[in-house]
Amino acid sequence: MRRFYRGRDLSRVHSVAELADMARRRLPYFAWEYLSGGAQDELTLTDNLDGFSAYGLHARAMVPCHPPATARAVLGRVLPVPLLIGPTGYNGLLHRDADIHLARAATARGLPFCLSTAANTSLEALVAAVPEVNLWFQLYAMGDPRVQNDLLRRAAAVGSRTLLLTCDAMVLGNREWDRRNFAKPRQLAWRNTLDVLRHPRWLQQVMWPAGLPGMGNLEPYLPLNERNALGSMAFIGRQMDSLLDWDKLARLRDQWGERLLLKGVLHPADVERAIALGLDGVVVSNHGGRQLDGAPSSLAALAAVAPQARGRLSLLLDGGIRRGSDIVKALALGADAVLLGRATLYGVAVAGEAGAGRALDLLTQELVQTLNLMGCTHLSHLGRDNLWERRR
C-alpha cells in the first residue's frame, strides 16, 4: 500500500509532498488552511502546481554524470543553487520562532532569506539570532510614510541590501475557506476551537507560554496595550497603502539606494515599466494563488515576461515549486532563481530548522538528479529547447 511516512525521522521523508502531509496532520485545521489555501475557487492555486506538469524535459544520451554545476550569480552574489526562502507572513502560526528557524536553515546552506514586513520576528531579533544571514527584506507599502521610512531605516541598519516591494496585496484576496474557520474576525468557530485542543503538540510548539505572537516588525508602532497578535493584525490592515502606484515606486527607487525588486509582476508591460524605473529585478508571482483568482500561473506568466526581462534585469519566480524539476523548468523558461514559500513552511511546521532544511536539501538533491538524468552539466545550458509541452 502506498502511503507517506508518519513518524519523526526526517531522513525517511522523501519529498516536499510528504512534508506537506506531515504538516497537515500536525497543525490545527485553521492553521493548515491558512498555510495551504487560496482565494475563491482556488483556480490560480491549482494552476500554480499544474503549470509545471504542462512541461516535460528532454534528455540527452551518453553524457557522463559528473556533479552538474548548480551555482549561479543572483543580484551580484553567487549562490550554490539558484533558490532562496521567500517572504511569508505570520509564520509563528506554524512554529515558535519560525522565521529564525527558516533563516538558520537558509544560512547554513549559503542561501538568502527574505523577511516579511508581517513577520513575527523583527529585523533586529532575526539578525541577533542569525548574524551571518544574507537578509532580504520584503516591504508592504505603508499608508503612513513615517512607518514606511522607519522600516526602511531599520532594514538598512541591520545590513539588508535587497528590498522586495510587494505590489499585489494592496487589498486582500477573498480567501473564503480561511474565513469559514472563524465565527467573526479573529475569533475561531467553536468546532475549530475544539480542533485546536486535539493538537497538544501545536499548543506547546506555538501557544506556550504567551499565546499567538504579534508581528515583531510592527510592534514599535503599536500602542503598548496592542502589542499582540490582534493588535498587529488590525494595524497592518489599516496601514496597507491601497493607493500604491508607479510614482510611489519611483520615489522608493530614489530613496532606497540598494537593490530593489518588485514582487507580484505578471505582465510584460509591467516588466518594461520596472526596467524604465531602474529596478534591479522583478519577482513573477501571483501571491501563491491567494489574491486574484484566475490570474495566470507563475510559470505561464514567467514564459510571457521572460523575453522582456532577459539581460535587462534579474527575473525571479515565486509560486508552486515542489520539486527540483520545477526549478529546472523555471530556469529553462528564463528565471534566474526561484523563491520558496510553502515548501519550506511545511518543513518548519513539522520540525523547525531541521524540517525547513530537509525541504531545501530535498529540492537541491532533486535538482542535481534531474540535471544528471537530462544530461545537462551546467545551469547555463538550460533553455526552452530542454522542454517539451505535454498534452493534458
What pLDDT is recorded for position 287? 97
How many helices and strands, by DSSP H and E, does the chain display? 15, 14
What pLDDT is recorded for position 392? 61
User: Can you list the residues of the chain whose pLDDT is less than 70?
Assistant: 392
Cell numbers given for 55? 512541461
Burial of 243 (0-12, 13-18, 19+ CB in 10 A): exposed
Check if CATH label 3.20.20.70 holds for domain 11-176+236-389.
yes
Cell numbers given for 316? 525571479
Reduced DSSP (H G I as helix, E B as strand, rest coil) percent helix, strand, coil of the chain, to 5? 45, 15, 40
What pLDDT is recorded for position 215? 94
CA pair distance 149, 137, nearest whole angstrom: 13
- Residues placed in the known binding site: 34, 87-89, 116, 138, 140, 166, 175, 263, 285, 287, 290, 318-322, 341-342
Q: What is the dihedral of CA 203, 205, 210, 212, to 10 degrees?
A: -80
b/e burial code for range 273-282 (CB count within 10 A of at least 16 → b): bbeebebbbb
Cell numbers given for 281? 529585478
Could you list the active site residues? 287
